[in-house]
Amino acid sequence: MVVNRQRMDWIVFAIYLILAIWSILTLYFIEVSSGEFTGVWQRQAIWLAISLVIGFIVLMIDSQLILSFAPLFYAVALLLMIAAIIQGQVVRNIHAWVVIGGFRFQPVELAKVATALMVARWTARRKPSAITAIKGSIWAVIPAVLALAQKDWGSAMTFAAIPLALTYVGFPVFLIIAGIGLYIVLLVVIAGYIKLLLILYGIALVVLLIVFRKQREYIKYIIGVVLVVTGMTLSMEWAFTRVLKPYQQQRLKVLVGQERDPRGAAYNVIQAENAIAYGGFTGTGLGKGFFTSFKFVPEQKTDFIFCAVAEETGFIGSTVLLFLYGLLITRMLLYVSRHRSPVIKIYAHSVAGFFIIHLLINLGMVLGLLPVIGIPLPLFSYGGSQMLSFSLMVFIYLNFSRERYTLLH
């Protein structure tokens, strides 16, 4: 199949390439600054080259053929995740790695691509509705549960991208708001204010019963909702104290300010904030970051790579980086809005969702707004698995972007 250069979204491809090359340069200057030449930037360049080769092969495959293989791709990704749980390589107590032919990768990253394809294929064949969107989200629940079984909490959270994407076809926004509300409740529980929370539930119940005393048909719903919320709150408290390990509890306590622990769980966040502040408006210059040079920020090549960008290029560089991400996401959504096929639109929304969730969680970790759970900055953090998976997402989107007038299914 010949690539139609007039119809493919070359702007998204250009942004993708800029982000990937910027990543390699950042990793290079981190090594220059720290004096620790481990070949990380070369390996990232190799993974980019591999991703580009695979990506251009994807561009030559018929779009409909890609969709027809979505179920098989999805099944293989899940089987690899199960294999990682049973016999995979363990890194930092996470059973998420598979080694094949000397290459080590995370199947959950491939599962993200496969899930985006499967959700698009399945949902587009049905009438848009809240029920369809909720059922479509089940395709994301399965890999998320497997990620939890791998003890990879961060990756499990990223599959929230699918419900976010499916708001386009009717996924109830109130469920997403409810999810955010549960997160706030969780923070309160972690902070140790569960008794106060239960008292507030009681007060809310009394107030609502008084307000709706003349509408008796609502009373049973009000009581039911309060009981469900109370039950979920108590479940969170039980899970926090009985399920999570001590180091996980400590990370969450640091998040809500219950513990500071500057040499332990809070160390990453404190040093990250210092590095960002030290960069100022214009930055210290490439290869000249103080916190980067002395490796004060752990994982500065992976999960905390944004700190190196912020320190060496300052507010200006950080803003440009975030602008590029924003432009990439916005361009995807606007470009496919003119396409006929629902499957292309749903897929683009799913890919945008994964970018958004990764950005929010990664920046939330760096800024101390979320616990440190190990989520890379897409196309930027060092790592072959995430480079390959996000490259696949982008190139499949580029393939679909040419089919403006084709009704894929």
Please report whether residue 246 resides in a domain: no
- Of the candidates 317, 310, 348, 338, the one whose C-alpha atom is nearest the C-alpha of residue 124 is 348
Q: How confident is the model at residue 7 (pLDDT cuts 50, 70, 90)?
A: confident
Report the percentage of the chain scoring pLDDT > 70: 89
pTM for the whole thing?
0.84
Say if residue 253's pLDDT is above 90: no
Please report whether residue 222 resides in a domain: no
Q: Among 69-78, 144-153, 274-283, where is mean pLDDT lowest? A: 274-283
Please report whether residue 272 resides in a domain: yes
The CA angle 55-61-63, to the nearest 5 degrees, is 105
Rg (CA), the chain: 23
Please report whether residue 234 resides in a domain: no
- Of the candidates 208, 193, 97, 96, the one whose C-alpha atom is nearest the C-alpha of residue 147 is 96
DSSP 8-class letter at 376:
P
Domain that holds residue 348: 10-191+256-401
- The DSSP line for 221-273 is HHHHHHHHHHHHHHHHHHHHHHTS-HHHHHHHHHHTTS---TTTTTHHHHHHH
Query: Residue 405's pLDDT is what?
Result: 59
Q: Which residues contact 347 (CB under 8 A, 6 or more apart)?
A: 116, 117, 119, 120, 396, 397, 400
Please report whether residue 240 resides in a domain: no
Please report whether residue 203 resides in a domain: no
The CA angle 163-251-112, to the nearest 5 degrees, is 30
The CA distance from 363 to 273, in Å, is: 11
Please report whether residue 388 resides in a domain: yes
Please report whether residue 406 resides in a domain: no
Whether the Cβ atoms of residue 96 and residue 152 lie closer than 8 Å to each other: yes
The CA distance from 137 to 18, in Å, is: 32
- Specify the number of domains making up the chain: 1
